[in-house]
């Protein structure tokens, strides 16, 4: 089991089952992160309408009665939403919401996605090159911004969005000093007259801070800017290094994750999750969702070509939220993560005493003409709080060295011994084993193997008295004893051979004599 601890230390590695080491490191020149900026609502200039024939004049509506204007309906029985069916209308369900505002926005958003899916890939927004229509002024590190410092992309809901200091920019910014005067300062147009009211119900602008090699997820992260307010965002960079392998599940570059990266950017868990949902969308519904990049040779969903894609999408969205698709299980956390901790401060801008000349300058320079001037402008400052960053690193708390140290400590605690005592005990055990082995070997040799055992056995048989023989021994015949050779002819024989004939039944005397004579005739010289 692993536990995660975090300590604000410098060069100190704490102990634990799984440790995160936090280290403060100074920066000489800190690369500024990317900043994605978008208006909070889609402007009418960004609206994409499908061309078609002139609408036919609507028929005159019938005059409603008093009963129609006041239907007797209990508000607790209301269900706000819309109905979706599959292709053959055999299965339908209601996508309901607790608020009528959310239901209307989602229904309008659903139809707007179908319009966007019919646009060609070469489509560019009318406002792409007109940065001044949204950003009145831009400065970074006391220098004015140029067109090389930002890139444009289109968001289905927010419309025209701009990324400052992104990976695709030709001139990247570097921060050499902390503070609000050495960061990015923007004056934004937040006028609401040109916004499409059914896509977004908020005013202001949407801002998110992300890494230069990461895509901007405007819906998943970020914050809104309030009109008539100066928002100051201080940043602090933090990195996290996880241990993979046996210590945890993480991936270094996403190559071991069974999900194709559709963003063609650095691997992040959010990139993997969106790519996984898009793959499931293409597999189950036969088309791609316009909010995410589409695979090759796949069309975006459009109810003119895929009449039941809405039914499939909302069903799939429910399975995705409950992790029945397995996207949250497949997409591992990256082993190395860089994030930016933000803290915000707000103040009224411009002030009462300075608003006259500020709005006059905006009118002369940017053609800023709006009745309620404070609701049409906002200011944003993004800067580093201090030029250092914190690194949280994980390290194994129990290594081989610490394991041996803990074993020695426990041994000394419970047995009161030291290293010399352990060596002496090991030597004693070794000596006991050697002595035991030698004793067993001597006993084995004395019982089963002895060089002089054959001679001693013959002497013992020869010296055995006749009275001690068993009762089945045959009596000694005179003819056999008289026919034995004299001791002079065989001086080397010290004892007669064992009486093997006594082990069996007694033979007849005649046959025994004949056999004896035949044997001794062979031994004559």
Domain 128-239+339-391 classification at class level: mainly beta
Per-residue pLDDT of the chain in tens (525 residues, 90 and over written 9): 333 333 333 233 333 334 444 455 555 555 667 767 667 665 544 444 333 444 444 444 445 454 555 555 566 667 788 888 888 888 888 888 888 888 888 888 888 888 888 887 666 554 544 666 788 889 998 888 877 788 888 888 888 888 888 877 667 788 888 989 889 999 998 877 767 778 878 888 999 999 888 998 988 888 899 999 999 999 999 999 998 888 888 999 889 999 999 998 899 999 999 999 999 999 999 999 999 998 988 999 998 888 889 999 999 999 999 989 999 999 999 999 999 999 999 999 988 888 888 888 888 877 776 666 778 899 999 999 888 888 999 888 888 888 888 888 887 777 776 777 778 889 999 999 999 999 999 888 888 765 555 444 444 444 445 444 444 444 444 444 444 455 444 444 455 665 555 555 555 544 444 444 443 333 433
Give the per-residue pLDDT at 435: 94
**Separation in Å, CA 395 to CA 9, 240, 244, 247, 407:** 14, 12, 10, 9, 21
User: Residue 433: which H helix or E strand, with range?
Assistant: helix 419-448
207 touches 190 (CB < 8 A): no
Instruction: Round to whole Å and give the CA distance between 135 and 188.
Output: 5
Question: pLDDT by residue (tens digit) across 441-490?
Answer: 988 888 876 555 544 444 444 444 544 444 444 444 444 444 445 544 44
332 touches 276 (CB < 8 A): no
* Domain spans, the chain: 128-239+339-391, 244-334
User: Residue 364: which H helix or E strand, with range?
Assistant: helix 355-366
* pTM of the shown model: 0.67
Give CATH superfamily name and number for 244-334: Acid-sensing ion channel domain (1.10.287.820)
Give the per-residue pLDDT at 31: 64
């Amino acid at each position: 089991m692993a536990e995660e601890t975090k300590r604000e230390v410098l060069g100190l590695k704490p102990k634990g089952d799984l440790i995160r080491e936090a280290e403060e490191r100074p920066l000489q020149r800190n690369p500024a992160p990317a900043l994605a900026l978008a208006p909070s609502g889609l402007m009418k200039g960004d609206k994409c309408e499908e061309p078609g024939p002139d609408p036919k004049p609507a028929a005159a509506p019938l005059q409603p009665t008093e009963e129609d204007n006041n239907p007797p309906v209990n508000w607790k029985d209301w269900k706000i939403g819309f109905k979706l069916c599959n292709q053959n209308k055999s299965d339908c369900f209601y996508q309901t919401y607790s608020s009528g505002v959310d239901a209307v926005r989602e229904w309008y958003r659903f139809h707007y996605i179908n319009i966007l899916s019919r646009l060609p890939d070469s489509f560019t927004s009318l406002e792409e090159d007109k940065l001044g229509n949204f950003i009145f002024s831009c400065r970074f590190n006391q220098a004015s911004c140029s067109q090389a410092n930002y890139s444009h992309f289109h968001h289905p809901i927010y419309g025209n969005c701009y990324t400052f200091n992104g990976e695709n920019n030709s001139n990247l910014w570097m921060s050499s000093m902390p503070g609000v005067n050495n960061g990015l300062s923007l004056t934004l147009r937040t006028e609401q007259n040109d916004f499409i009211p059914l896509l977004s119900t908020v005013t202001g602008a949407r801002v998110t801070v992300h890494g230069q090699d990461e895509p901007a997820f405007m819906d998943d992260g970020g914050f809104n800017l309030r009109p008539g307010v100066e928002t100051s965002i201080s940043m602090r960079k933090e990195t996290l290094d996880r241990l993979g392998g046996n210590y945890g599940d993480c991936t270094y570059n996403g190559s071991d994750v069974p999900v194709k990266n559709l963003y063609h950017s650095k691997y992040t868990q959010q990139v993997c999750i969106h790519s996984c949902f898009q793959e499931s969308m293409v597999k189950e519904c036969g088309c791609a969702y316009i909010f995410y990049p589409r695979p090759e040779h796949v069309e975006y969903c459009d109810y003119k070509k895929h009449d039941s894609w809405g039914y499939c999408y909302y069903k799939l969205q429910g399975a995705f939220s409950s992790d029945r698709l397995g996207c949250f299980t497949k997409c591992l956390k990256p082993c190395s993560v860089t994030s930016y901790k933000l803290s915000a401060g707000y103040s009224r801008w411009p002030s009462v005493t300075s608003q006259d000349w500020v709005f006059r300058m905006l009118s002369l320079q940017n053609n800023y003409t709006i009745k309620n001037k404070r609701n049409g402008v906002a200011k944003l400052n993004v800067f580093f709080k201090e030029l250092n960053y914190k690194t949280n690193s994980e390290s194994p708390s129990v290594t081989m060295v610490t394991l041996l140290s803990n074993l020695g400590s426990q041994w000394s605690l419970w047995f009161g011994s030291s290293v010399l005592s352990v060596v002496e005990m090991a030597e004693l055990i070794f000596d006991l084993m050697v002595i035991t082995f030698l004793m067993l070997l001597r006993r084995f040799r004395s019982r089963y193997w002895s060089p002089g055992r054959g001679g001693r056995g013959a002497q013992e048989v020869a010296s055995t008295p006749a009275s001690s023989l068993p009762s089945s021994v045959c009596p000694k015949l005179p003819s056999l004893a008289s026919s034995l050779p004299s001791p002079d002819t065989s001086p080397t024989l010290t004892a007669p051979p064992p009486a093997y004939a006594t082990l069996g039944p007694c033979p007849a005397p005649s046959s025994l004599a004949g056999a004896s004579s035949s044997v001794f005739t062979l031994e004559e010289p």
